[in-house]
């Protein structure tokens, strides 16, 4: 899952992004409305966490621009205004959800996960053969044995499981699990998949489709 945090207070924006990365998400940051629009139209975000009071271009205008562009990203709008009228205004602009400052980080994570696009009927706990992935608790087991994964390993596994047998390219994994600072010319995905394979054990669950990517058959 990849998230854009658009917030004009750098310390808060960076803290939110780092917290989301700790939850296994890819997270980028924009400190003003113009940067938020540019990044949101350039990258495949699942959710945009959008502060309403952004400089350069107001958050309302950013929301309207993303909706008009038919961006696939869901929009979680942040605001210090607690009135019903303010929340209704934001939702009428096309925001998918609203969170009032100050907020508990745990609630923000829960709302981001709820907004993120999932295949129809995807359950919090998914099984493929003897592999069990509990996305809500961020836990993995195989044949009843707990498997300890890093954030990126878990992120890759989640993307492969949710693809439901379809091939996922290395480029797509880099886009969805890492952030904008990832070097597209590195072997980061290949190395992480190799570690993931070792931890999951035999028989190998991840199939390499030469020239295309990876899948869980």
CATH placement of domain 125-215: 1.10.10.10
Question: Strand pairing partners for 164?
Answer: none
Task: Please report the pLDDT score of residue 87 as a whole number.
Answer: 64
Which residues have C-beta within 8 Å of that of residue 104, sequence separation ≥ 6?
A: none
Take residue 111 and report the two structure tokens written for it.
């709302």
CATH 1.10.10.10 in the chain, residue ranges: 125-215
pLDDT tens track for 54-74: 999 999 999 989 988 878 899
> Superfamily for 2-115?
Response regulator (3.40.50.2300)
CATH 3.40.50.2300 in the chain, residue ranges: 2-115
Environment class of residue 65 by beta-carbon count within 10 Å: exposed (0-12), middle (13-18) or buried (19+)? middle
pTM for the whole structure: 0.63
In this predicted structure, the answer to whether residue 187 has a pLDDT above a threshold of 60 is: yes
Residues 69-90: what's their mean pLDDT?
Answer: 78
Categorize the per-residue pLDDT at 169 as very low, low, confident or very high, splitting at 50, 70 and 90.
Answer: very high
Could you give the CA distance from residue 24 to residue 177 in angstroms, rounded to a whole number? Answer: 8
The maximal CA–CA distance of the chain, rounded, in angstroms, is: 57
Query: Long-range contacts made by residues 32-39, C-beta under 8 angstroms, separation at least 24?
Result: 32/8, 32/56, 32/57, 33/6, 33/57, 33/58, 33/59, 33/61, 33/62, 35/6, 36/4, 36/6, 36/62, 37/62, 37/65, 37/66, 39/4, 39/180
In this predicted structure, the answer to whether residue 38 has a pLDDT above a threshold of 50 is: yes
Residues 146-157: what's their mean pLDDT?
Answer: 93
In this predicted structure, the answer to whether residue 34 has a pLDDT above a threshold of 80 is: yes
Could you give the CA distance from residue 7 to residue 31 in angstroms, rounded to a whole number? Answer: 5
Could you give the CA distance from residue 102 to residue 215 in angstroms, rounded to a whole number? Answer: 41
């Amino acid at each position: 899952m990849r998230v854009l945090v658009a917030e004009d207070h750098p310390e808060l924006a960076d803290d939110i992004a780092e917290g989301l990365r700790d939850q296994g998400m890819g997270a980028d940051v924009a400190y003003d409305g113009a940067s938020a629009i540019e990044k949101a139209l350039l990258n495949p975000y699942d959710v945009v966490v959008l502060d309403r009071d952004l400089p350069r271009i107001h958050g309302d205008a950013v929301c309207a621009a993303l909706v008009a562009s038919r961006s696939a990203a869901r929009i979680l709008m942040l605001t210090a205004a607690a009135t019903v009228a303010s929340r209704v205004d934001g939702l009428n602009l096309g925001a998918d959800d609203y969170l009032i400052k100050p907020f508990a980080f745990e609630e923000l994570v829960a709302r981001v996960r709820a907004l993120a696009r999932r295949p129809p009927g995807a359950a919090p706990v998914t099984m493929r053969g003897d592999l069990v992935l509990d996305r809500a608790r961020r836990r993995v087991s195989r044949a009843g044995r707990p498997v300890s994964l890093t954030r990126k390993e878990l992120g890759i596994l989640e993307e492969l499981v949710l693809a439901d047998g379809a091939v996922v390219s290395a480029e797509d994994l880099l886009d969805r699990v890492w952030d904008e600072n990832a070097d597209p010319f590195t072997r980061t995905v290949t190395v992480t998949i190799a570690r993931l394979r070792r931890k999951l054990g035999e028989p190998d669950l991840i199939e390499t489709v030469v020239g295309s990517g990876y899948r869980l058959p």
